[in-house]
Amino acid sequence: MTATAQTTISLDAPQDVTAKILSHLRDDHGMAFRTKADRHVFEQDGYRIEFALHAQALDVRLQAPNDNAMQFSKEGLVHHIAAIDPALAETIRWQGVAQKAGVAPSNFRLLTVRRSTLLFEGMQRVTLHYPDIDKLAAQGLHLRLVLPCDPTRRPVWPVMGANGAPVWPKGADALHARYVTLKNIRPEREEVDIDVVRHGAGLISRWAQEARAGQKIGAMGPVGLSALPQASSYFIAADGTGLPIVAQLLAKLPQDTKGDVVLALPDSLRAEDYLPPSRLRLHRLTPNTFDDSVLDVARELTNPGVGYGFFAGEFATAKALRDHFKGPLGLGKGQQMSTAYWRR
Ligand SMILES: Cc1cc2nc3c(=O)[nH]c(=O)nc-3n(C[C@H](O)[C@H](O)[C@H](O)COP(=O)(O)OP(=O)(O)OC[C@H]3O[C@@H](n4cnc5c(N)ncnc54)[C@H](O)[C@@H]3O)c2cc1C
């Protein structure tokens, strides 16, 4: 169910702050705004952001596909304003969906580890108890996991601030938050599987490898993508971090869907042991050659007739694929999504 929220931020020079936010959203997040007089509007996949400039105020109207997504949208907006002017971000107050300050964010849950196993070379599966996942599952397939930066500390979880964004503890109690994907959801058992790349020193990756039954972890969500839009054909590519979402998305496409899937898969893994049955042609790359090869493979496999382009993986590769989708393939808004899941 669509959620909306609105705020009016009083400030002397709304055009300066707006210009900074717009260039950040365009350059770092690839978000294209349409501008008409003093209004700037972004619209995609059920999300809408509108900035309307007045003499001494900035009106912001947000729309999101559901309440969880709205929570993240408001936090994002507050975060972008705080990066420019922290004191101004504190003054923000929202009309619409609102939560009292000082309470746990409505999308925050404590999840309990049931087990952690090596699923295949380079990938750890953690099974978590997620009490009300049956009610929440429709809100999206991604989860923001939260744990203390210092694993020896007793966690201090975020609470809502009056400006609509969670207040994150600082200093010794600082938290580390990263997104993962719900690979399997078993609502009848109140259980989910997340598959985490074993990649070295990352806190989340290390947590996954060392997780023991009974341990708790904070989680916000779920949020984000649930399925791909309908298209005549697809080009889909992902490294290990994008494998869980690709598996989920393939399972939701009609059986006769055409196209190509390029994935980072270790030689020891049989694709059918991880991916659902699909008519899309699978092209395998090894995880350590994926980033160097995937753009060339995309160029070989795609032409301007392709209906939809999807990529999930490293930041620089995501940018290269986005440029390929928007440039040579001519894919417009709503026809492509190339997302940085991590940054080297
Ligand atoms: C929407 C979304 C969904 C995601 N779903 C998944 C998922 O289902 N499974 C999953 O494994 N990841 C997923 N990711 C990616 C994951 O959030 C990042 O890899 C994250 O950086 C891992 O956090 P960390 O604490 O382990 O490492 P960080 O503290 O973030 O990073 C520590 C170091 O490790 C490097 N690093 C981070 N990730 C990798 C990697 N994959 N390979 C090599 N080096 C890396 C960083 O460059 C940094 O130098 C997703 C990301 C997004 C945005």
Q: Residues 46-66: pLDDT tens digits?
A: 899 999 999 999 999 999 988
Tell me the whole-structure pTM to 2 decimals: 0.93
Structure tokens at 12: 């002397």
Across 4-13, average pLDDT? 92
Contacts of 209 (CB under 8 A, 6+ apart): 116, 124, 196, 198
Which protein residue has the closest C-alpha to ligand 1 atom 45? 199
Structure tokens at 125: 């599966």
| Pocket lining for ligand 1, CB < 6 angstroms | 142, 176, 178-181, 194-197, 199-205, 224, 240-241, 244, 341-344
| Average model confidence (pLDDT) across the chain | 94
CATH code that applies to domain 3-96: 3.30.310.50
Across 236-265, average pLDDT? 97
Say how far apart CA 249 and CA 148 lie, in whole Å.
31
CATH code that applies to domain 234-342: 3.40.50.80
Domain with CATH 3.40.50.80 in the chain: 234-342
Q: How far is the CA of 130 from the centre of ligand 1 (A)?
A: 22
Across 87-102, average pLDDT? 86
Domain with CATH 3.30.310.50 in the chain: 3-96
Which pLDDT band holds residue 115 (cuts at 50, 70, 90)? very high
Which pLDDT band holds residue 1 (cuts at 50, 70, 90)? confident
Which pLDDT band holds residue 11 (cuts at 50, 70, 90)? confident
Of 139, 197, 210, the residue with max ligand 1 atoms within 8 A of its CB, to mutate for a pocket test, comes to 197
Across 118-145, average pLDDT? 95
Structure tokens at 324: 């390929």
Structure confidence by residue, pLDDT tens digits, 144-167: 999 999 989 999 999 999 999 999
Say how far apart CA 11 and CA 160 lie, in whole Å.
24
Structure confidence by residue, pLDDT tens digits, 168-190: 999 999 999 999 999 999 999 99
Instruction: Give pLDDT, residue 32.
Output: 85
Across 181-208, average pLDDT? 96
CATH code that applies to domain 108-223: 2.40.30.10
Of 29, 116, 204, 342, the residue with max ligand 1 atoms within 8 A of its CB, to mutate for a pocket test, comes to 342
Torsion angle defined by CA atoms of residues 246, 247, 252 and 257, in that order, rounded to the nearest 10 degrees: 70
Which protein residue has the closest C-alpha to ligand 1 atom 28? 202
pLDDT score of 97 more than 70: no
Domain with CATH 2.40.30.10 in the chain: 108-223
Beta strands in the chain, from DSSP E residues, in sequence order: 3-10, 34-36, 39-44, 47-54, 57-64, 95-96, 108-120, 123-129, 142-148, 159-160, 166-167, 175-181, 184-186, 191-197, 216-223, 234-238, 259-264, 281-285, 308-314, 336-342
Evaluate whether 292 touches 246 at the Cβ level (below 8 Å): no
Ligand 1 atom nearest residue 194's Cα: 8
Structure confidence by residue, pLDDT tens digits, 16-50: 999 999 998 888 777 889 999 889 999 988 899 99
pLDDT score of 200 more than 60: yes
pLDDT score of 83 more than 60: yes
Which pLDDT band holds residue 99 (cuts at 50, 70, 90)? confident
Of 69 and 99, the structure prediction assigns the larger pLDDT to: 69
The residue type found at 329 is: L
Evaluate whether 166 touches 159 at the Cβ level (below 8 Å): yes
